[in-house]
Structure 1
Amino acid sequence: MTGLSVPSWGGVAASLLLIALTAAVAYRQRLHLTRELITASLRAGAQLAAVGVLLLVIFAHTGLPGAFGWVTIMILLAGQVAGRRGTGLPRARWAATLGVAVGSLVTLATLLGLGIISTQARVVVPIGGMIVSGAMQAAGVALRRLREDAQQARPAIEARLCLGLPARDAFLPHQRSALRTALLPAIDSTKVVGLISLPGAMTGLILAGVDPLTAIRYQIVVMYMLLAATALAALTAARLVEHALFDHAHRLIPLPEPH
């Protein structure tokens, strides 16, 4: 591949001027985000450098088993992050972790099983990372919406229960609303892909010198896999939390008040 121009470490350091500009805007507007912005930027750089070194080891010495091990770690971390969005819900982190795992593993297994992507570690790790990230965001949004509805719509839910509806039917409108909220960002991104923005996978391949039509084929697969992962993750997390929200008598359990 030709035409690839990678920034030097000096160029990376120079790009900190953009962070300084952003921090200056935040400070000038008194957004109280300056310290958080700088900390997040430095942390991201350190994390990416550490991951880069680790991936060198995985690609060179551990191969596919190491790649799957890394994907497993990403799933566990993503489950914890998504679970925090549902704080107050019973078993939120467990539901989020299982939701991310189902969405990620089913999608990745399909891609590998059908031969759509290569079984090389340098392919499995970045593709797995994109899948896990999408699943994490969808599970987190679904849980946050479920928590809000379980607290704010409690009278309506209990009214349906009093009318004799089982717990699943009484909560179904809110589950559907949470799933719609979780899936809409991925659907909207899919609608405008290529028209408003060139997504990361396609952009990276084009920068690496790949023919645009080849890059497009890869990006289509990426968009489809993200839709599948988000749908499976959100649905799994929502169903697990739904079961935990009701006791054996189909009564909605009390939830702590939001902070």
Structure 2
Amino acid sequence: MNTAVPSWAGVAASIALVLPAIAVAWHRRLHLARDIAVAAARAGVQLAAVGAILLLVLQHTGVAGAAGWLALMVITAGRVCAGRSAGMPRALPIATTAAAVGSAATLGVLLALGIIAPQARVVIPVGGMVVSGAMQATSLVLVRLRDEARTARPAIEARLALGLPAVEAFAPHLRSTLRTALIPAVDATRTVGLISLPGAMTGLILAGVDPFTAIRYQIVVMYMMLSAAALAALTASHLAERALFDDVHRLRPLTAGIRR
């Protein structure tokens, strides 16, 4: 037994770490105590179920199963982003495409250059990190573009009235959105190791891997996260810009939408 890995009894005892958050939410009347408890319970159940499914995938399906698992991750990421950016035209196909492009391109390079092994036990966890990074960037882009199109509509339509094409009329808002979406990935890359030891490196060290070996893996992880975020953000912004304007360069009306 690896003593660095908590036992199931330790996992059960770690529920105590959630109690302070629930107590603060209840004491301050934040109306989040129930949400925190449900989220903690769901996390445990979901991870246990995922662990059981992954065990079957790794033992019996190989790379084909890993590809299917990653496709399911991308679909789920698209739905999460679309729910958060409700009101954006064609939010679901845009979010799914952006997550897929950022994830597939980044993983493709990692596999093509032999940086990671083409094995399910490697592709699935690495792909999960890549899809997560792409999802976060996509969500930031779509939410910000939707809000920009709503709040800055008079300025955008004024530029359109002056004869500017949609691309130029919306360009300032697009640049600002892309910058905002990429800041988290850039800051995480800039400060890695100085503020925190990231998950991949920490996990390898806990597993007994030499720190310098863990560092090599973490460098690759940071680069791939930056790549996935940049490609997903660029794809999402390009598709969203086309969805926001019609064929004659008019800004489409945005529905109110309900965040899911």
State the one-letter code of the partner of 2:37. Answer: I
Identity rate of aligned residues, in percent? 63
Equivalent AA in structure 2 for residue 201 of structure 1: A
Q: Distance in 2 between matches of 1:19 and 1:119?
A: 38
Counterpart of 2:10, as a letter, is: G
CA distance in 2, matches of 1:171, 1:256: 19
Equivalences for residues 193-204 of structure 1 within 5 A:
193-204=192-203
CA deviation map 1:61-106 (0-9, x unaligned): 0001001110000000001101122211110111000000000000
1:192 maps to which residue? Answer: 191
SS of the counterpart of 2:18? helix
- Name the structure 2 match of 1:71: 70
What corresponds to 1:234 in structure 2?
233
Secondary structure in 1 aligned to 2:42?
helix
Residue in 2 aligned with 1:49? Answer: 48
Moved over 4 A (4+): none
- Tell me the alpha carbon deviations over residues 165-205 of structure 1, each in whole angstroms, 9 at most, x when there is no partner: 11111111111111111100111111110000000000000
| TM score, norm. by length of structure 1 | 0.97
How many residues align? The count is 258
Query: Map of 1:110-259 to 2, 5 A cutoff?
Result: 110-257=109-256
User: In the alignment, is the contact (CA less than 8 A) between 1:4 and 1:209 conserved in 2?
Assistant: no
What displacement does 1:31 show?
1.1
Give 5+ residue unaligned stretches, structure 2: none
User: Structure 1 residues 13, 258: closer, same or farther in 2, change over 3 A?
Assistant: same
1:257 to partner: Cα distance? 4.0
Question: Within 2, Cα distance between the matches of 1:199 and 1:44?
Answer: 20
8 Å contact kept, 1:103–1:233? yes
Shift in Å, 1:4: 4.9
Mapped to 2, the partners of 1:118 and 1:107 lie a distance apart of 14
Offset at 1:134? 0.5
Cα distance in structure 1, aligned partners of 2:204 and 2:175: 37
Q: Which amino acid aligns with 2:108?
A: A
* Equivalence for 1:80: 79
Name the CA distance, whole Å, in 2 between partners of 1:258 and 1:123.
39
Is 1:28–2:27 an aligned residue pair? Answer: yes
Shift of 1:163: 1.3
- What is the rounded CA distance, in whole Å, between the counterparts of 1:254 and 1:151 in structure 2? 9
Question: For residue 61 of structure 2, what is the aligned residue in structure 1?
Answer: 62
Please state whether the residue corresponding to 2:88 is helix, strand or coil.
coil
Cα distance in 2 between the residues matched to 1:153 and 1:84: 22
Residue 125 of structure 2 aligns with an amino acid whose one-letter code is P
Q: Which TM-score applies when normalising by structure 2?
A: 0.97
**Residue ranges of structure 1 left out of the alignment (5+ in a row):** none
**Counterpart residue type for residue 202 of structure 1:** M
Larger deviation, residues 172-181 vs 98-107: 172-181
Displacement after TM superposition at 1:256 (Å): 2.3
Q: CA deviation at 1:15?
A: 0.5
1:96-153 CA distance string (max 9 Å, x none): 0000000000000100010000111000000000000010010001100001100000
Root-mean-square deviation (Å):
1.2
- 1:3 CA drift (Å): 6.6
Q: Is the 8 A contact 2:86 2:256 kept in 1?
A: no
Structure 2 residue matching 1:15: 3-state secondary structure: helix
TM-aligned CA deviation for residue 258 of structure 1: 6.5
